[in-house]
Chains A and B, each alone.
Chain A
Amino acid sequence: MTGNIVSLAIVLLLLALAVWAVVARNAFLAIAGFVAYGLLLSLVWVRLHGVDVALTEAAIGGGLTGAMLIGAVSRLRGTEAAARAERSGAGVHVLALLLSLGVAATLALCVLVLPDPAPTLAPQVAQNLAVTGVGNPITGVLLAFRALDTLLEAIVLVIALIGVWSLAPERFWGGRPGLRHQADPDGILAYFARLLPPLGIVFAVYIFWAGADHPGGKFQSATILAAMWTLVLMAGLADTPRIDHRALRFGIVVGPLVFIAIGVLGLFSAGALLAYPPQWAKPMIVVVEVALLPTLTLVLGLLLAGAPARRGGGA
Chain B
Amino acid sequence: MNVETLYGLGAAALVGIGLYGLIVLAHPLRKIIAFNVMGSGVFVLFGALAKRGAAAGLHADPVPQALLITAIVVAFAASALAVALIVRLIESTDSASLASDPPDGSRD
Contacts and interface: CB of A to CB of B under 8 A. Distances in A.
Given A93-B24, A96-B20, A119 B76 contact: no
B36 A111 contact: no
Given A7-B3, A137-B58, A37 B37 contact: yes
Nearest to A34: B33
Contacts of A18: 13-14, 17-18, 37, 41
Interface stretch (A71-79, A191-199, A242-250, A252-260): A71-79
Contacts, number: 305
Interface string B50-69: 11111111111111011111
Nearest to B99: A86
Interface in A143-182: 145-146, 149-150, 153, 156-157, 160-161, 163-164, 167, 169
A240 B98 CA distance: 31
Given A48-B47, A49-B54, A122-B61, A85 B73 contact: no
A183 to B, nearest CB: 22
Interface string B31-48: 011101100110011011
A8 B10 CA distance: 9
Interface string B67-104: 11110111011111101111110110001110100000
Given A11-B10, A53-B72, A72-B83, A79 B60 contact: no
B57 A104 contact: no
B70 A4 contact: no
Contact of A100 (B20, B88, B90, B96): B20
B65 A53 contact: yes
A225 interface: no
A64 B76 contact: yes
Contacts of A112: 5, 9
A127 interface: yes
A219 B30 contact: no
A114 B70 CA distance: 24
B86 A142 contact: no
Contacts of B67: 146, 149
A72 B87 contact: yes
Given A37-B37, A85-B106, A138-B66, A19 B10 contact: no
Interface of B: 1, 3-21, 23-30, 32-34, 36-37, 40-41, 44-45, 47-63, 65-70, 72-74, 76-81, 83-88, 90-91, 95-97, 99, 105-108
Interface of A: 3-4, 7-8, 11, 14-15, 18-19, 21-23, 27, 30-31, 34, 37-38, 41, 44-45, 47-50, 52-53, 56-57, 60-61, 64-65, 68-69, 72-73, 75-76, 79-80, 82-89, 91-93, 95-97, 99-101, 103-105, 107-108, 110-112, 114, 118-123, 125-127, 137-138, 140-142, 145-146, 149-150, 153, 156-157, 160-161, 163-164, 167, 169, 217, 219, 296, 299-300, 303-304, 306-307
12 contacts: A7-B6, A18-B13, A18-B14, A52-B65, A68-B83, A75-B87, A83-B96, A85-B105, A100-B17, A108-B13, A121-B62, A146-B67
